[in-house]
Amino acid sequence: MKRENSAPTMKDVAREAGVALGTVSKVVNGLPVGDSYKIRVEDAIRKLNYQVNSYAQGLKASKTYTIALLIPNTFDPFYASLTYHINIALMKRKYRMLLCTTDFDHQQEQEYVTMAQHNKVDGIIGLTYNPELIVEETTPFVAIDRSMGPKIPCVACDNFAGGQLAAEKLSDLGCKNVAFLRIGSSLVNEPNKRKAGFENGCLSRGLSYEMKILNDGDSYEEFEQFLSEHMSDGKLTFDGIFCVTDRLAYQISNTLRKLQLRVPEDVQLIGFDGIRYFGDMDYHCSTIVQPIPEMAEMCVDLLLRENTMMKPPLVCLPVAYAYGGTTLEG
Amino acid sequence: MKRENSAPTMKDVAREAGVALGTVSKVVNGLPVGDSYKIRVEDAIRKLNYQVNSYAQGLKASKTYTIALLIPNTFDPFYASLTYHINIALMKRKYRMLLCTTDFDHQQEQEYVTMAQHNKVDGIIGLTYNPELIVEETTPFVAIDRSMGPKIPCVACDNFAGGQLAAEKLSDLGCKNVAFLRIGSSLVNEPNKRKAGFENGCLSRGLSYEMKILNDGDSYEEFEQFLSEHMSDGKLTFDGIFCVTDRLAYQISNTLRKLQLRVPEDVQLIGFDGIRYFGDMDYHCSTIVQPIPEMAEMCVDLLLRENTMMKPPLVCLPVAYAYGGTTLEG
DNA sequence: TTGTATGCGTTATCAT
DNA sequence: ATGATAACGCATACAA
């Protein structure tokens, strides 16, 4: 007698039902089994409150039913929401999620990928910033927001369309002279297309525009200086600003206040991401909303898809504009 | 030949090093082994880039090196931050985290606990709302913010002291007549002590106060009505309000604006939790800050602690006041 | 000290 | 259709 308070196993069920081990396995896996046997096994399962041990299952099948999510953190609202929806999508498919927060650290990203390669997870979903990330082709990988080569599917929102939409909205709302402000990784990634989309939108609407692009190391103060330089007579030469993220829009909004400018009366502001106060309340600002639930579903779907041929290199999901108080009219 | 691109196993290492399987196991686990053997094994491990399969390891040891975190969601900033820090604390100890988002659903909470009981996780950290949650004593459990009996440790911030601190701060800042506003679960839990602490603080400072307590089902509009009823001549009879969470403070702040009241000039506001914009920027409001990193560490520490005798039933961690623009002076 | 054999809970391949 | 048995990767008691 070794089993004390540990969970019941198939063997226990078999003994309880008076059948062979293999029969229990078949019932559990839905394989054909005689009706009378099936009933007895099912009764025994209920009686013992049996559940399969998916780790033993995984050992046999060389599957872990676990996928790793590589993400910088979970306190940034965008990452937090992505984490939530990916987790839901995985649980729905009986998969577990191993959360790997990388804090933007290139080396940690690589370590997690390597770890994952060693039979510890069945796949990886990664929002990463290491341009030299080595990912062997043996482990399925889906990237978010950054293309990592033709063999690895990338899921993103339609950043180009989002930028364009921002320009069109500002134009519709009466802006004549706008600016695009961006800070972030200098890496080639999908969100960079927001700039191109915005330019495109401005050109097609005949909107005159300026850009200020900062990289990760740069100081935020450069934006303050940029804005100050574009003041004359206490007025800003821009009547509309498109910020690359809602986070930046928040900072810019504070800076504008310091400059005695009113939002949206003096200058209208559009952000990107669709972040809400406390995760589910109002939008922080007027914004281009990323379809996070759909992106999460798509990531999981692509990762778990059997047919490896049907994996498109890039999937862009549609964005939408939402009013959030920093533009005119609701 | 079955092993193709799958990860190398101990057997491979043994063959490569020309030693027996058991010897490899000993080297991996740091058990005494002859120096020459040890070196050969370590070389082989490096050469094959071997890593133990911790699931097979777990199958043997009936350990999964996984703990489950039961939490309503990860998009609410408080939960998101808690998730982040608990994840970090676990990874530091080589434990994985199984994220179980319950969306406040009592039945889902029970399902996850039951699932976890079945040898799938080594322990559970739970922030739950099911008062009848059944958790067998076989699986270590640590509760957050709600005591679940003397055998289960509960980790929380010092909610009583936080309430008291809020009252004292409002008093220090010149308030004479204050209010406490609360909405949330009617369950007996730790955050409820904020009320008692606040009362205590008001009494000791001779502050006159009123309370408005709402339960989960109740409509927010009751707060609006409550505040309206306390208006006379366009002035609020309160000069300070303590909200049970930053989230509520945000809503109340919006309502006050609608009532043409200025914060903090007409009425000062203190929230609770220490939520920041975008997870790491400014505080949403002046607030009582919960020590989330320390709470996370404490949860993991208690859960993984060997000595089951040394588990205190309740651990309260210290809170601090932080200025966030909704009180006078910085 | 090192090697061998057994078992952890499953699944799959056999005979029956 | 059902039952016995080997194998998955690892740890360990035991034999050498």
The CA–C1' separation of A11 and C10, in angstroms, is 10
Nearest to A77 among B84, B278, B284 (CB): B278
Mean predicted confidence (pLDDT) in A136-165: 94
Pairing of strands A231-232, A235-236: antiparallel
DSSP code of B263?
Answer: T
Nearest to A119 among B53, B120, B251 (CB): B53
Q: How many CA atoms lie within 13 A of B89 on its CB side?
A: 22
- Which residue minimizes Cα–C1' distance to C2? B23
Which range among A76-85, A109-118, B86-95 shows the weakest confidence by mean pLDDT? A109-118
DSSP code of A283?
Answer: B
Q: Tokens 């004292």 identify what position?
A: B168
Mean predicted confidence (pLDDT) in B173-177: 97
Contact (Cβ atoms closer than 8 angstroms) between residue A249 and residue B218: no
Please report, for residues B58, B96, B202, the alpha-carbon distance to residue B63 in angstroms, rounded to integers and kept in the order given.
4, 12, 50
Run of H or E residues at B141: strand B141-144
pLDDT digits (tens, 9 = 90+) for B155-167: 999 999 999 999 9
Which range among A53-67, A235-249, A267-281 shows the weakest confidence by mean pLDDT? A53-67
- Which residue minimizes Cα–C1' distance to D9? B56
Rounded to whole angstroms, the Cα distance separating B83 from B92 reads 14
C-alpha B233, offset from chain centre: 43
The confidence score (pLDDT) of residue B136 equals 81
Q: Nearest C-alpha of chain B: how many angstroms from A282?
A: 10
Residue B329 scores a pLDDT above 50: yes
Helices marked H in chain A: 10-17, 21-28, 35-48, 54-61, 77-92, 106-115, 159-172, 193-205, 221-229, 246-258, 292-304
pLDDT band at B1 (very low <50, low <70, confident <90, very high): very low
Q: Which nucleotide is nearest to B41 (CA to C1')?
A: C2
| CATH classification code of B159-291 | 3.40.50.2300
Of B2, B115, B16, B82, which is closest to residue B273 (Cα–Cα)?
A: B82
pLDDT digits (tens, 9 = 90+) for B240-280: 999 999 999 999 999 999 999 999 999 999 999 999 999 99
Q: What is the mean pLDDT of chain A?
A: 93
pLDDT digits (tens, 9 = 90+) for B187-217: 999 999 999 999 999 999 999 999 999 999 9
The confidence score (pLDDT) of residue B258 equals 95
Q: Are A250 and B84 a contacting pair at CB < 8 A?
A: no
Q: Nearest C-alpha of chain B: how many angstroms from A276?
A: 10
Rounded to whole angstroms, the Cα distance separating B141 from B151 reads 9
Of A54, A143, A308, A188, which is closest to residue B120 (Cα–Cα)?
A: A54
Q: Nearest C-alpha of chain B: how many angstroms from A15?
A: 19
Cβ neighbours of residue B242 closer than 8 Å, sequence gap 6 or more: B163, B166, B167, B170, B178, B179, B180, B181, B194, B198, B270, B272
Sort out which chain B residues have CB atoms less than 8 A from A92's CB and list them.
none
Q: Which nucleotide is nearest to B11 (CA to C1')?
A: D9
The CA–C1' separation of B135 and C5, in angstroms, is 39
Mean predicted confidence (pLDDT) in A60-71: 90
Q: What are phi and psi of A272, to 5 degrees?
A: -145, 135
Q: Tokens 């490896």 identify what position?
A: A308
The confidence score (pLDDT) of residue A2 equals 36
Residue A63 scores a pLDDT above 50: yes
Cβ neighbours of residue A221 closer than 8 Å, sequence gap 6 or more: none
Q: Are A279 and B51 a contacting pair at CB < 8 A?
A: no
pLDDT band at B4 (very low <50, low <70, confident <90, very high): very low
∠ CA A17-A22-A26, nearest 5°, is 90
The confidence score (pLDDT) of residue A119 equals 65
Rounded to whole angstroms, the Cα distance separating A274 from A290 reads 6
For testing contact with chain A, the best of B50, B119, B281 (most A CBs within 10 A)? B119
Tell me whether domains B63-157+293-317 and B159-291 share a fold.
yes
Residue B30 scores a pLDDT above 70: yes
The confidence score (pLDDT) of residue B68 equals 94
Domain boundaries, chain B: 10-52, 63-157+293-317, 159-291
In the CATH scheme, what is the homologous superfamily, with its name and number, of domain B10-52?
lambda repressor-like DNA-binding domains (1.10.260.40)
Rounded to whole angstroms, the Cα distance separating A223 from A229 reads 10
The confidence score (pLDDT) of residue A303 equals 95
Q: What is the mean pLDDT of chain B?
A: 93
Q: Which residues pair with A214 in a beta bridge?
A: A183
Rounded to whole angstroms, the Cα distance separating A298 from A294 reads 6
pLDDT band at B120 (very low <50, low <70, confident <90, very high): confident
Q: Are B87 and A101 a contacting pair at CB < 8 A?
A: yes
Long-range contacts of residues A232-239, Cβ cutoff 8 Å, at least 24 apart: A234/A260, A235/A266, A236/A261, A236/A266, A236/A267, A237/A177, A238/A177, A238/A178, A238/A179, A238/A210, A238/A267, A239/A174, A239/A175, A239/A176, A239/A177, A239/A178, A239/A266, A239/A267, A239/A268
What's the burial of A253, exposed, middle or buried (CB within 10 Å: 0-12/13-18/19+)? buried
The confidence score (pLDDT) of residue A59 equals 87
The confidence score (pLDDT) of residue A5 equals 58
CATH assignment of B63-157+293-317, among 3.40.50.1980, 3.30.43.10, 3.40.50.2300, 3.10.20.30: 3.40.50.2300
Query: Which DSSP string corresponds to B271-313?
Result: EEE--BGGGTSSBSSSEEEP-HHHHHHHHHHHHH-S-GGG--S
Mean predicted confidence (pLDDT) in A116-129: 87
B59 → chain A, closest CA residue:
A56
Rounded to whole angstroms, the Cα distance separating A86 from B8 reads 30
pLDDT digits (tens, 9 = 90+) for A46-57: 999 888 888 898
Q: Which residue has the higher pLDDT, B128 or B62?
A: B128
User: What percentage of chain A reaches a pLDDT higher than 90?
Assistant: 78
Q: How many helices (H) and strands (E) does chain B have?
A: 11, 14
Sort out which chain B residues have CB atoms less than 8 A from A117's CB and list them.
7
Cβ neighbours of residue A21 closer than 8 Å, sequence gap 6 or more: A10, A11, A14
Nearest to B59 among A56, A117, A247 (CB): A56
Count the helix, strand and coil residues of chain A and give each as a percent rounded to the nearest 5.
40, 20, 40
Query: Which DSSP string corresponds to A218-244?
Result: S-THHHHHHHHHTEETTEES-SEEEES
Q: CA A212, A217, A221, A224: dihedral to nearest 10 degrees?
A: 20
What is the SS3 assignment for B92-106? HCCCEEEEEECCCCH
Residue A4 scores a pLDDT above 60: no
Rounded to whole angstroms, the Cα distance separating B57 from B9 reads 12
pLDDT band at B124 (very low <50, low <70, confident <90, very high): very high
Rounded to whole angstroms, the Cα distance separating B123 from B29 reads 23
Contact (Cβ atoms closer than 8 angstroms) between residue B112 and residue B102: yes
Q: Between A and B, how many CB-CB pairs are < 8 A?
A: 125
End-to-end CA distance of chain A: 71
Residue A179 scores a pLDDT above 60: yes
Rounded to whole angstroms, the Cα distance separating B69 from B116 reads 10
User: What percentage of chain A reaches a pLDDT higher than 70?
Assistant: 98
pLDDT digits (tens, 9 = 90+) for B38-81: 999 999 999 988 888 888 888 888 888 899 999 999 999 999 99
Sort out which chain B residues have CB atoms less than 8 A from A220's CB and list them.
none
Residue A1 scores a pLDDT above 90: no
Q: Which nucleotide is nearest to A29 (CA to C1')?
A: C11
* Strand C nucleotides in reach of protein CB atoms, 7 A cut-off: 1-5, 7-13
Rounded to whole angstroms, the Cα distance separating B235 from B221 reads 19
Nearest to B97 among A76, A84, A99 (CB): A99
The CA–C1' separation of B253 and D1, in angstroms, is 71
Residue A121 scores a pLDDT above 60: yes
Cβ neighbours of residue A162 closer than 8 Å, sequence gap 6 or more: A194, A197, A272, A288, A290, A319
Q: What are phi and psi of A225, to 5 degrees?
A: -65, -45
What's the burial of A255, exposed, middle or buried (CB within 10 Å: 0-12/13-18/19+)? middle
